[in-house]
Amino acid sequence: MCGPIVTDKKYGTIGENKVVVPDGFYKVFLIDNNGRYEAMGLLFDHVSGRKKMKSYVCSVDSVEKVTGIDFFCRLPDEVESRVESQVDYLVWGFK
């Protein structure tokens, strides 16, 4: 899943229809890794520049805190708590 992060409207609006410019964007991923769910979040600020992808990686809990969205609420609570609170970098190909 992915979407905009709009918190304080510091970027204002653009165009005739006053479309809000987001503060940033988020992405969250969930995979079934041989019967064990794994999740990862990404938070991107609305700033120019280039960083390694790993610098944007965070827990899904971190994304939930910023967005107010409960992403994997249909998972059993014990699974949801585990996958949303940690990121296994090796599962996702980061060293």
3-state secondary structure (DSSP) of residue 8: coil
| 95 in a structural domain | no
| 93 in a structural domain | no
pLDDT of residue 41: 96
Q: What is the pLDDT of residues 57-69, one digit of tens each?
A: 999 999 999 999 9
| 94 in a structural domain | no
- Residue of 95, 89, 90, 76 whose CA lies nearest to 41: 89
Domain that holds residue 66: 2-85
| 40 in a structural domain | yes
| 39 in a structural domain | yes
Packing angle, helices 60-67 and 77-85, rounded to 10: 90
pLDDT of residue 78: 94
pLDDT of residue 9: 61
| 15 in a structural domain | yes
Calculate the dihedral angle through the C-alpha atoms of 72, 34, 31, 77, rounding to the nearest 10 degrees: 10
Predicted TM-score (pTM) of the model is 0.85
- The token duo for 62 is 């971190």
pLDDT of residue 35: 86
| 31 in a structural domain | yes
Number of folded domains in the chain?
A: 1
| 92 in a structural domain | no
| pLDDT-flagged residues of the chain (< 70) | 8-11
